[in-house]
Amino acid sequence: MSTLTIRNLAKTYPPNVRAVKSIDLEIESGEFVSLLGSSGCGKTTTLQMVAGFVTPSAGQVLLDGRDITYLEPDKRDMGVVFQSYALFPHMTVAQNVRFGLEMRKLPEAQIRERVADALMMVQLGGLDSRYPSELSGGQRQRVAIARVLAIRPRVLLLDEPMSNLDAKLRSEMHVELRGLQKRLGITTILVTHDQVEAMTMSDRIAVMANGTIAELGTPQEVYDIPSTEFAFNFLGQSNTITAKVLGHDDAHTQVSIGSSVIQIPLRDAGTSGELRLFIRPERLTLSSPETGIITGRVATRLFLGNTWTYEIDSDFGRLRVIKVNTRGGQPGEGELVGINWNAADMQSASGELADV
């Protein structure tokens, strides 16, 4: 399979809208990488430059070492699955799937075989002669996938392909599509704004903001040890705590927060000044007031079924705590509680998000 290299890729629209500022990304053969970000972060433009739909203003796209930056889209051998599915409404399912094969001028027998294979792969056998308008949303998406798999693309590009499906179907498709991708070993880029989708499917996630990659790593890395304040807040939830640095030794930094003084496992935070610390709500636990590192009073609590979300006023400011809904008593509003955490879960952002 193929490796894809993106170097300093940028797109500026006239007069001076910098949709993509500079993207560097190396995607291994068979790897599944997600570009995750909110709308306007440049993820779709990046994908369109890789697909050849948008001409980059600067930088390069290399496929197996060959420069394809300015190659026409029909010469790239990339399979694109669109958010709208982009099925050809005037063609049947089979005609949609065979379109790419006809473009490659394959012999008729081979076309038939590949169309059947592709439809089988997405479990759509028997629907060959239906028109897209006669299919459900989920089936349309499967046709779109079969259409690109049939051409055996060197790279698979998925542009928010699941955003038009309902929640249950979406999570089924996550598993199914990831299974297919692994089995076929296709190098894949997924563009999505859905964190869960990116987490469940990807080998690596590139979190994008302001036209650059803010964070790159495995799903666990970008969630557990992000390096930017942006990622702390964008992925999942975080409590942000402002601390005053008092001093440090070889392994720890001593900080004061409110009236408490605590040690955090951080070396190079300087000897004075302010420090912003982050801790995720599910890493905070509640106990009786006596056994907590700090204490706080429950301001509100929300019931979400499998979890409770607490807002607690404490010495550290208002903290959000997520607690699994177990049997037994849950602290009520107005109650005094103790709050605990593992020292390692209180982190600071080491990197700054480039904002240029």
The answer to the question of residue 99 lying near other proteins (CB under 8 A) is yes
Instruction: Tokens for 283, please give them.
Output: 């890493």
103 near other proteins, judged by CB under 8 A: yes
Residue closer to other proteins, measured from CB, 72 or 290 = 72
Measure the CA–CA gap between 61 and 214, rounded to whole angstroms.
20
Which CB sits closer to other proteins, 181 or 195? 181
User: How would you classify the pairing of strands 317-324 and 307-314?
Assistant: antiparallel
Based on the shown chain and the rule CB under 8 A, indicate whether residue 89 belongs to the binding site for other proteins. yes
Q: Name the minimum Å distance from CB 81 to other proteins.
A: 9
In angstroms, give the least distance from the CB of 55 to other proteins. Answer: 6
**E-assigned strands of 184-257?**
187-192, 204-209, 212-217, 239-248, 253-257
Phi-psi region of 298 (alpha: psi -120 to 50; beta: other; left: phi over 0): beta
Q: Binding of other proteins at residue 226 (CB under 8 A)?
A: no
Q: How far is the CB of 129 from other proteins (least distance, A)?
A: 18
Q: Nearest approach, Cβ of 33 to other proteins (angstroms)?
A: 19
If the CB atoms of residues 106 and 246 are measured against other proteins, the closer one turns out to be 106
- Is residue 131 a contact point for other proteins (CB under 8 A)? no
Number of residues in contact with other proteins, rule: CB under 8 A? 29
Q: Which stretch binds other proteins (CB under 8 A): 85-93, 239-247, 308-316, 344-352?
A: 85-93
Question: What is the contact mask toward other proteins in residues 51 to 70, using x (rule: CB under 8 A)?
Answer: xxx-x--------------x
Q: Which of 141, 115, 137 is nearest to 126 (CA)?
A: 115
From the CB of 67, what's the least distance to other proteins, in Å? 12
- Asked if 273 and 348 touch (Cβ cutoff 8 Å), the reply is no
Binding window for other proteins (CB under 8 A); candidates: 88-96, 183-191, 225-233, 250-258: 88-96
Which residues lie closer than 8 Å to 289 by C-beta, 6 or more apart? 295, 336, 337, 338
- Picking from 282, 254, 275, the residue whose alpha carbon sits closest to that of residue 342 is 282
Residue 319 CA to residue 133 CA, distance in Å, equals: 50
Return the closest-CA partner of residue 146 out of 109, 107, 189, 96.
96
Cross-strand partners of 285: 340
Query: Which CB sits closer to other proteins, 104 or 276?
Result: 104
Q: Does 120 bind other proteins (CB under 8 A)?
A: no
Measured from the CB atom, the residue of 140 and 280 that comes closer to other proteins is 140
| Segment 151 to 210, residues that bind other proteins, using CB under 8 A | 151
Can you spell out the DSSP letters for 279-300? E-GGG-EEE-GGGSSEEEEEEE
- Which residue ranges make up the site for other proteins (CB under 8 A)? 51-53, 55, 70, 72-74, 76-80, 82-90, 99-100, 103-104, 147-148, 151
